[in-house]
Amino acid sequence: MRQVVLDTETTGLEVEQGHRIIEIGCVEMVNRRRTGNTFHQYLRPDRDIDSGAEQVHGISNEALQGKPRFAEIVGELLEFIAGAELIIHNAEFDVGFLDNELRLAGRDGDSVRGHCQVLDTLLLARRLHPGQRNGLDALCRRYGIDNSARDYHGALLDAQLLADVYLAMTGGQAALSLDIVPATEVAGAVAPRFDRAGLSLVVRHASAEELAAHERQLDLLEKACPQGAAWRRRDG
């Protein structure tokens, strides 16, 4: 399963007022593991950045001089996200801006959802934590994820943090199905007998990579659960 965590920064909050994307950051995950592949680009918006927006992301008009326009990088972006599930926090905001940029780049009728499925982690967080703060900083604190480098919002940094938040939010074990009835409980059924003579038990040990991944998950549980990870507790 391929997923891409995506975030944008913009000149202001309202796409209807002509605001534009000035930064895009994407982080690739395959089978719930980061691959190390990223997409990151600053963009020239051809309009001024609102002062309030600049205070949030720290990107100035001067810093974007000479950067490419969205139309120049749209092919590379679409190639990176093609076929993936996009993971976005407050997806309607980012998708709305991206769809507007596609239109301005001459791709009428094209849309983000035409290339990808979209999962909104804000909606997911609201279901998991109703009535609580569910911004990215609040979720980082809740799940014990270090966001100390987030002095300003940044598309790539926020995508990296959101990847950790998403994995923590969805890291619980799937429920086991109870619909299958053992054959011994079915009326009239006879449990089969097997000749175990000469059989030996094959033991398969976890690889170093699997053990390390297990320890990372336990670290997340230690931070998120007041009682710590049950696997690390010892009686007496």
Active-site residue (options: 40, 153, 205, 214): 153
Tell me, yes or no, if 153 is annotated catalytic: yes
CA distance 129 to 135: 11
b/e burial code for range 127-161 (CB count within 10 A of at least 16 → b): eeeeeeebebeebbebbebebeeeeebbbbbbbbb
The Cα 84–Cα 70 span in angstroms is 20
> At CB < 8 A and 24+ separation, what contacts does 19-22 make?
19/45, 19/47, 19/50, 19/97, 20/45, 20/46, 20/47, 20/70, 20/97, 20/101, 21/45, 21/70, 21/97, 21/98, 21/101, 22/49, 22/57, 22/59, 22/64
Residue 53's Cβ-side half-sphere holds a number of Cα atoms within 13 Å equal to 18
List active site positions: 153
